[in-house]
Amino acid sequence: MTEIYVSDAIHPDVLATIGESARVHLGWGDDAVDYARVAPAVDAVILRAETFSRAVIEASPNLRIIARHGVGTDNVDLHAAAEHCVWVTTTPGANSNAVAEYVFALLLSAARKVPQAMERVRGERWSEGKSDLVGFELGGRTIGVLGFGSIGRAVTRIATGFRMRVLAYDPAVEPADIAGAGAGPVELRELLAASDVVTVHVPLLPSTRNLLGADEIARMKPGSILVNTSRGGLVDENALADALRSGRLGGAVLDVLEAEAADMKDPLRHNALPLGTTPALGVTPHVAGQTTEAFRQAGHMAWEAVQAALADRTPPHAVQPRGGRMAAEA
């Protein structure tokens, strides 16, 4: 019988469907099993937060596919997968709307000081002066979108509804395509200097690590807000903390941390960002894509890829050819 390992919770309907034709090993909950126990028998993995290193892949002789439940592949050793003829696939677009909506959940929370207002009520201080809770409106402001894939385009659609001016930077997308989607194509420096809000939507690659380093953060508009729902390594967290402490930036709201590279399931054990001492900083635990709708779509897409690979067909949304060289090296 086919053996499937599912690293983290997925939509229950999808899990039930998988269970109809395969033996499923769960990486979470009361019935959780350590992957190392089942690695010799596993044929396919549906992967969320767990890390699949070279050692893990080499301990999995029957493994034919790692189907990422999401779009990032930084927790998979792609070179080792290719060398061992293991497909790696993603689920592009499944959570684009969920992430885009979450960007505005974070942004509105920061702009209108929602956490501070709720804390005020929890502390039974309703009648105190409220001057410290004065926020700002998004209408008429400029939002800079770094990365103009499906999420960046969804952010643009929502921002337009708020009557925001949208600037976008993505060297991989033609300026005419950006303009046609309702944003103004600009270079990175111009975007940083002109934007009241900067939101990041690019993959973490060697070429994009610290995309927003100390120099770039220093070029951001004074008082602006940074939103990052993509990957922690895209932002120099030390430079960000300095900019927040000095008051140069108005705030930052992050759904990701650089420490996730060390441990995606418990990055706080490795985190260096001063979470508790920087009031203008808000962090959530990488949940931007977690909606019922996104989970259902991503789960179905991952299972479709698994079925194709196990039937010796090329699965949809493969990251690199099975057993072939990485695209960056081709």
CA pair distance 317, 89, nearest whole angstrom: 5
pLDDT band at 322 (very low <50, low <70, confident <90, very high): low
d(CA 64, CA 75): 17
Catalytic site residues? 231, 260, 286
3-class secondary-structure state, position 122: helix
Q: How many residues does the chain have?
A: 330
Domains of the chain: 3-93+292-329 (3.40.50.720), 96-283 (3.40.50.720)
Residue linked to tokens 């690659």: 205
Contacts of 70 (CB under 8 A, 6+ apart): 48, 90, 91, 94, 95, 289, 298
pLDDT over 90, % of the chain: 87
Inform me whether the pLDDT recorded for 117 exceeds 50.
yes
Helix, strand, coil in percent for the chain, rounding step 5: 40, 15, 45
In this structure, of 48-52, 277-281, 305-309, 323-327, the range with the lowest mean pLDDT score is 323-327
Q: Which residue has the higher pLDDT, 243 or 326?
A: 243
Give the number of other Cβ atoms within 10 Å of residue 11's Cβ: 19
Position 323 scores a pLDDT of 57
Instruction: Please state at what angle helix 292-310 crosses helix 12-19, rounded to 10 degrees.
Output: 20
DSSP output for 84-104: TT-EEE--TTTTHHHHHHHHH
Give the contacts of 95 (CB within 8 A, at least 6 positions apart): 70, 71, 288, 289, 291, 294, 297, 298
Whole-number pLDDT of residue 292 = 97
pLDDT of residue 329: 30
User: Residue 327: is its pLDDT beyond 50?
Assistant: no
Does residue 185 surpass a pLDDT of 80? yes
Three-class SS of 207-260: CCCCCECHHHHHHCCCCCEEEECCCHHHECHHHHHHHHHHCCCCEEEECCCHHH
pLDDT at 321: 60
Residue 328: its pLDDT value, please? 31
CA pair distance 229, 285, nearest whole angstrom: 10
Give per-residue pLDDT as tens, 168-183.
999 999 999 999 999 9
Proportion of the chain above pLDDT 70, given as a percent: 97
CA distance 94 to 154: 12
Q: Average per-residue pLDDT in the chain?
A: 94
User: Residue 106 CB: number of other CB atoms within 10 A?
Assistant: 24
Q: Predicted confidence band at 261 (pLDDT cuts at 50, 70, 90)? A: confident
Q: Quick check: pTM over 0.75?
A: yes
Question: What's the CA gap between 249 and 65, in Å, rounded?
Answer: 43
- For the beta carbon of residue 164, count every other beta carbon within 10 angstroms: 22
For residue 112 the two structure tokens come to 């209108």
Q: Do 30 and 71 contact (CB within 8 A), yes or no?
A: no
Distance (Å, rounded) from C-alpha 17 to C-alpha 14?
A: 5
Confidence of residue 330 (pLDDT cuts 50, 70, 90): very low
At residue 279 the predicted structure's pLDDT band, cuts being 50, 70 and 90, is confident
Lowest mean pLDDT among 28-32, 142-146, 161-165, 321-325: 321-325
pLDDT at residue 325 above 60? no
> What pLDDT is stored for residue 169 in this prediction?
98
Residue 112 CA to its chain's centroid (Å): 24
Q: Summarize pLDDT for 55-100 with one digit per residue, the tens.
A: 999 999 999 999 999 988 989 999 999 999 999 999 999 999 999 9
Closest CA to 138 of 182, 105, 108: 108
